[in-house]
A and B are shown apart, each in its own frame.
Chain A
């Protein structure tokens, strides 16, 4: 069958049969929209090369899934897959990110949870992806949605846990792709690891009888342990240096602040003309009483948000126009970090707030707070997870010399180095961003 070839910087060529339903799926508007959603939010403010899209990442995850399914078949035979399960896994790999709002995770608190929206699009009879999937098998949309969803979906059978963990776990196809892709695009070379070994040594294994539900597990042989260790370190370094870079996070917080201020102004009666200048795809999120239609969402992209910010750059509200200008021209944000939780430092925070207010910079808009998620410091949840965390998300090694034949990666004696980044508990650090022109004075206040 003739193939459509996508050039890819990580895998060279990604081939899809020209007459296949998968190519139809790729050509759906909901998937094509991902070309206009940057994979790393505003990371290009720090790393100029980070302009790659969710589309190229989704293709990459799809490619890795094809390789993974071949590996599982080679090891366990074709009977390991039930009817339609392979198709569902391939489609889920391709569609897992279609619910992302503009700038991906950066604005998720404003544009809502991307997984829930992906499930809603996949199960919506009016969507193009739903139609393509339904033509293959009318039960396929439900199977794909169940693989992508965080929560069991009512009325739909639950996928096998090992299949679900290929889509979402601590070592899934998503992470295998994005760490290396983001590393390549940003130029920060921390994200490299031996992905080929990880992918080509995975296997399935029945779980021991003491597991509450005795599912089949995704496992790796002992010989892969160093590749997995490398992968966990890559994740740690990428979080530290790229994903939570202070400049990126500063402007992402600023973008959120602008959007929230836009929503606040749109709700005020005396700003009737303000509403008229809101671009249509953004209206459901900025004004009340409008429900988001699937069709609106198709046009909700990074460019639309930046166009709106450009419009607000000339708004008569001085705070909105000032914040918009700072974002558009990537300028004017200073920052400081304070060790400890917010409740440990009320005096310092009050001092910053009071200072900004005195300078005519309302702290509600000009003081941006950012607490790094625990995942920044803990790229893999291990020991503490033994109480609760299921094998669905843990990384499990399998070899005859392990107790019971299985070992969770953090319990492997040779990998003591991992404990330095997975078992250490450090005090959190809060970051605060504010207008650059007040940086010196604020740092002086805190010293």
Chain B
């Protein structure tokens, strides 16, 4: 029910302002055992999941979410995603079924965290997800690897904030 869980998360906010934000937010939620369990790789901007991107394509194709592209000045396209009217109806009607209630309960506790991440500084989110990806058992090591990978100073203020954010998701893994 990955498609449902993803649609449910997106429906909990007015919009997600970029695919990057969605990718990083879901990655951090998965560190907290969010049921989506998408496979992630490390890309330039941090953890990236082809599977999640594919799910977004499917939800878009099914007209459950709507993605609006915006051409940025740098030659990059940014996609804003939001739930559609049809998507809201599908979610509501599915949640009235027994199966719908079961799977809803699995995602409900992650919604407040997703909403919080949706308001987070995007750069901090990117750094936090990257640090979470590198973390094994040593935060200093994850911080160093993130700084090297992102080519920033180890004592960068936003990196420090990002590590604290990542800790919220990794500590109780």
Interfacial residues, chain A to chain B (CB-CB below 8 A):
150-152, 154, 210-213, 340-344, 346-347, 349-350, 373-375, 377-378, 381, 383-390, 392, 425-428
Contacts and interface: CB of A to CB of B under 8 A. Distances in A.
B20 A388 contact: yes
Q: Interface size for chain B: under 10, 10 to 19, 20 to 34, or 35 or more residues?
A: 35 or more
Contact of B4 (A343, A377, A378, A384): A343
11 contacts: A150-B42, A152-B145, A213-B44, A343-B4, A374-B53, A374-B57, A377-B57, A378-B57, A387-B79, A388-B20, A388-B48
A390 B44 contact: yes
Given A344-B90, A386-B76, A151 B133 contact: yes
B23 interface: yes
Contact of A386 (B4, B60, B77): B77
Contact of B151 (A213, A383, A386, A425): A213
B34 to A, nearest CB: 17
Interface of B: 1, 3-4, 7, 18-20, 23, 39, 41-45, 48, 50-51, 53-55, 57-64, 67, 74-79, 90-91, 93-94, 97, 99-100, 133-134, 136, 141, 145, 149, 151
B61 A388 contact: no
Contacts, number: 110
Contact of B54 (A211, A378, A427): A378
B141 A374 contact: no
Contacts of A341: 3-4, 58-59, 62, 64, 90
Nearest to B136: A154
Contacts of B93: 346
Contact of A343 (B42, B91, B141, B149): B91
A340 to B, nearest CB: 6
A37 to B, nearest CB: 21
A386 B74 CA distance: 11
Given A152-B145, A374-B55, A428-B62, A211 B44 contact: yes
A384 B54 contact: no
Contacts of A210: 74-75
A95 B58 CA distance: 34
B62 A388 contact: no
